[in-house]
């Protein structure tokens, strides 16, 4: 069976599964719609949480980012995983004890203010809408390559699938659909890694294969990878750092505390019956997440070596008579000079996978020196020796552009794996994007219908009316997400990291102070959230060229790109959080302290020894 037909069958079967589950678990009440009735088993919830958490960024982009950044790309692993641990230990049990299943409702009740709740809704919508852009973009990328349709058609199909199981099923439908999506995406991620680890090192355990020797040699895979990237003018793979150690630290912190402030993950801890179950499901989710997150560096490293092996023949990866990638030990040991013209690939002889990905526009070639070969190297290197060797070979600049988002999706094709593995990866990438998109859309819907309409605008609305408002809000959110996926703004390339930064600078400090500072009052919380949100968004959008004064970019006025000690916009959320805390405590000192009953409430929340069933009303 050809690849296209097989891909349609596998992806179509996964869609049928999701829609069937949605019909079986459709929501009949607001409790079902918002928190799946509060009766989900901890292991089931852990798996659904993992799927909710592992978005298109984790499945599609993370390994590509690590492949490009090397050691420095580990900040995504540390930030996102560490943030989940922070959420599970410091926030989730206490929020679950409080009993209100949305972040704005917690903030509104804790800080005894509808204004605080409304500001939290604004922060939530800003972060969630920014995040959902990346998910819909990921859906478009996966569809455009594997199903042979345009990016726009891919987004429309994704919108339709999410519409059915999110609008009709609510959290109940989303939860059980996400369990199926987790199974699909984890098999799709791990199976290719096992195949490729066996090919390159003979070790069936990818995590061990990354540290093993290349088959038939005494050269370790990481040493070979370091040699390859160094000869091509890049920093050593195992020691490269993005920008500075300060930037790396702040970036990691921004992702970590942003994770703990994202509402679509927090709400999952209200779908289980008890606080103890919330803790248990957090542990299970971490185990399920770790399977993918410990595999990502393997996929990144091996994909980078395979990519170089395809384009630069001196790397030592060759195709045998059966069409499989194998390692030539003699070539590996010879350490051929990769800056020789004969070490590059003749364009007309490029493999089929490159031809297929060229059609998506995510892989491009420009013949700068007119020799008909593909030269892939770092033409901006400061290494004088590397530049001299490139010029001596007649190279006039890097000719191959590879979008980081194709690394995972193209990896099985680069390694010449069976068609069924490639089709499985397609289904996994789509599952990852859809699962997180559904969780985000539900968070957006709940913020509008429950936190704005019921708690602020119309407190007397009936349960039936609220459920209808929730579904209509979901429809509006899906339309908006689809529009942004089709027409992404100028900062779309870093939308996921930006979403974490916005959550870090606005929501996380308010939640932390709400739980651990009984003296923090409503004036301090509101001022802190607004300050953190404004400072973070200003730095992000100014550096993305979206703010102007009479034709002059704000970046020119504040010192140029990455002007704050070299910190990139995607990492600025941690600085926004510091501003949030500072402003909140400063305002708190000059305003009236919270009422006595609020202080007692905070003390009781910090003793999570049980909780009532969550229905959103108490």
pLDDT in tens, 122-149: 998 888 888 887 777 777 777 776 667 7
Query: Looking at residue 547, what is its pLDDT?
Result: 42
Question: Rounded to whole angstroms, how far apart are CA atoms 60 and 88?
Answer: 25
Q: Which of 85-89, 298-302, 507-511 has the lowest mean pLDDT?
A: 85-89
CATH number of the domain that residue 508 is part of:
1.20.1730.10
Query: Looking at residue 235, what is its pLDDT?
Result: 82
Query: Looking at residue 581, what is its pLDDT?
Result: 97
Query: Looking at residue 333, what is its pLDDT?
Result: 52
Together in a domain, 392 and 433: no
**Residue 594 domain boundaries:** 3-283+418-538+569-605
Quick check: 250 pLDDT over 70?
yes
Question: Rounded to whole angstroms, how far apart are CA atoms 171 and 449?
Answer: 14
Tokens of 582: 């500072």
Q: Is residue 615 in a domain?
A: no
For the residues 245-265, what does the mean pLDDT come to? 87
Together in a domain, 390 and 463: no
29 vs 26, 105, 269, 459, CA distance in Å? 10, 19, 19, 17
User: Which is more confident, 392 or 184?
Assistant: 184
Q: Is residue 42 in a domain?
A: yes
For the residues 38-53, what does the mean pLDDT come to? 85
Q: Which among 58-67, 207-216, 454-463 has the top mean pLDDT?
A: 207-216
Together in a domain, 122 and 182: yes
Query: Looking at residue 526, what is its pLDDT?
Result: 96
Q: Which among 319-328, 344-353, 406-415, 506-515 has the top mean pLDDT?
A: 506-515
CA angle 87, 89, 93 (to 5 degrees): 85
| Mean per-residue pLDDT of the chain | 80
Q: Which of 23-27, 48-52, 579-583 has the lowest mean pLDDT?
A: 23-27
Together in a domain, 106 and 141: yes
Together in a domain, 339 and 363: yes
Q: Is residue 559 in a domain?
A: no
Nearest to 267 by CA among 507, 80, 12: 507
Task: For the chain, report the end-to-end CA distance as a whole number of angstroms.
Answer: 57
Query: Looking at residue 27, what is its pLDDT?
Result: 65
Together in a domain, 39 and 131: yes
Q: Is residue 558 in a domain?
A: no
Query: Looking at residue 559, what is its pLDDT?
Result: 47
Report residue 56's pLDDT band, with 50, 70 and 90 as the boundaries: confident
Quick check: 281 pLDDT over 80?
yes
Nearest to 120 by CA among 455, 570, 559: 455
Together in a domain, 82 and 180: yes
User: Which is more confident, 469 or 316?
Assistant: 469
Which residue, 360, 393, 414, sits at the end of a domain? 414
Query: Looking at residue 233, what is its pLDDT?
Result: 76
DSSP class per residue in 34-88 = HHGGG---HHHHHHHHHHHHS-HIIIIIHHHHHHHHGGGGHHHHHHHHHHHHHII
Q: Is residue 560 in a domain?
A: no
The number of distinct structural domains making up the chain is 2
pLDDT digits (tens, 9 = 90+) for 431-440: 887 777 777 8
Which residue, 380, 414, 448, sits at the end of a domain? 414
Quick check: 511 pLDDT over 90?
yes
Together in a domain, 356 and 255: no
Q: Is residue 169 in a domain?
A: yes
Contact yes or no for 278/96 (Cβ under 8 A): yes
Together in a domain, 22 and 149: yes
Quick check: 335 pLDDT over 60?
no
Q: Is residue 406 in a domain?
A: yes
Report residue 490's pLDDT band, with 50, 70 and 90 as the boundaries: very low
For the residues 576-599, what does the mean pLDDT come to? 95
Report residue 555's pLDDT band, with 50, 70 and 90 as the boundaries: very low
Quick check: 429 pLDDT over 60?
yes
Together in a domain, 223 and 364: no
* pTM assigned to the model: 0.81
Together in a domain, 458 and 483: yes
Enumerate the β-bridge partners of residue 374: 345
Together in a domain, 361 and 438: no
Query: Looking at residue 373, what is its pLDDT?
Result: 85
Q: Is residue 550 in a domain?
A: no
Tokens of 145: 């390559």
Query: Looking at residue 561, what is its pLDDT?
Result: 59
Quick check: 49 pLDDT over 90?
no
For the residues 323-333, what does the mean pLDDT come to? 54
For the residues 573-591, what does the mean pLDDT come to? 96
Which residue, 365, 397, 414, sits at the end of a domain? 414
Quick check: 615 pLDDT over 60?
no
Query: Looking at residue 394, what is its pLDDT?
Result: 79
């Amino acid at each position: 069976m050809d690849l296209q037909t097989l891909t349609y069958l596998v992806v179509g079967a996964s869609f049928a599964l999701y829609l069937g589950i949605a019909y079986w678990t459709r929501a009949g009440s607001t409790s079902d719609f918002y928190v799946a009735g509060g009766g989900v088993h901890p292991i089931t919830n852990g798996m659904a949480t993992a799927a909710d958490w592992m978005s298109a960024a984790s499945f599609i982009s993370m390994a590509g980012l690590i492949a490009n950044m090397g050691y420095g790309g580990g900040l995504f692993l540390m930030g996102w995983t560490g943030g989940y641990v922070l959420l599970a230990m410091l926030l989730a049990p206490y929020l679950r004890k409080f009993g209100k299943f949305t972040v704005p409702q917690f903030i509104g009740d804790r800080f005894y203010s509808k204004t605080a709740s409304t500001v939290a809704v604004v922060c939530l919508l800003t972060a969630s809408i920014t995040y959902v852009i990346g998910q819909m973009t990921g859906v478009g990328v996966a569809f455009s390559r594997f199903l042979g349709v345009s990016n726009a058609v891919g987004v429309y199909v994704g919108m339709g699938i999410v519409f059915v199981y999110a609008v009709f099923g609510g959290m109940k439908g989303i939860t059980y659909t996400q369990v199926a999506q987790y199974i699909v995406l984890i098999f799709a991620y791990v199976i290719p890694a096992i195949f490729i680890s066996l090919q390159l090192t003979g070790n069936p355990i990818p995590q061990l294969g990354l540290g093993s020797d290349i088959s038939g040699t005494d050269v370790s895979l990481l040493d070979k990878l370091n040699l390859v990237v160094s000869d091509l003018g890049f920093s050593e793979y195992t020691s490269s750092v993005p920008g500075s150690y300060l930037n790396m630290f702040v970036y990691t912190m921004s992702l970590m505390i942003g994770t703990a402030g994202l509402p679509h993950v927090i709400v999952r801890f209200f779908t289980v019956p008890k606080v103890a179950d919330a803790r248990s499901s957090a542990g299970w989710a971490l185990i399920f997440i770790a399977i993918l997150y410990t595999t990502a560096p393997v996929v990144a490293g091996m994909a980078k070596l395979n990519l170089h092996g395809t384009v630069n023949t001196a790397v030592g990866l060759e195709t045998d008579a059966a069409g499989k990638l194998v390692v030539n030990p003699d070539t590996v040991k010879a350490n051929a000079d990769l800056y020789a013209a004969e070490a590059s690939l003749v364009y007309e002889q490029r493999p089929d996978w490159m031809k297929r990905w060229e059609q998506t526009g995510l892989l491009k070639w420009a013949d700068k020196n007119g020799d008909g070969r593909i030269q892939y190297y770092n033409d901006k290197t400061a290494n004088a020796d590397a530049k001299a060797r490139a010029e001596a070979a007649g190279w006039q600049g890097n000719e191959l552009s590879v979008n980081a988002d194709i690394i995972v999706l193209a990896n099985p094709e680069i390694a010449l794996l069976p068609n069924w593995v490639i089709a499985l990866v397609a289904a996994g990438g789509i599952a990852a994007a859809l699962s997180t998109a559904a969780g985000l859309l539900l968070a957006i819907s709940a913020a509008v219908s429950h936190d704005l309409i019921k708690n602020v605008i119309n407190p007397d609305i009936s349960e039936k009316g609220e459920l209808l408002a929730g579904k209509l809000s979901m429809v509006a959110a899906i339309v908006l997400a689809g529009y942004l996926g089709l027409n992404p703004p100028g900062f779309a390339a870093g939308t996921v990291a930006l979403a974490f930064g916005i959550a870090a600078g606005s929501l996380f400090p308010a939640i932390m102070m709400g739980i651990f500072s009984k003296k923090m009052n409503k004036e301090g919380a509101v001022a802190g959230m607004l300050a953190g949100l404004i400072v973070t968004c200003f730095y992000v959008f100014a550096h993305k060229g979206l703010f102007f004064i009479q034709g002059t970019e704000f970046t020119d006025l504040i010192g140029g790109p990455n002007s704050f000690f070299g910190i990139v916009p995607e990492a600025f959320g941690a600085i926004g959080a510091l501003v949030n805390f500072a402003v909140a405590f400063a305002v708190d000192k000059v305003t009236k302290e919270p009422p006595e009953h609020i202080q007692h409430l905070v003390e009781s929340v910090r003793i999570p020894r049980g909780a009532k069933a969550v229905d959103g009303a108490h």
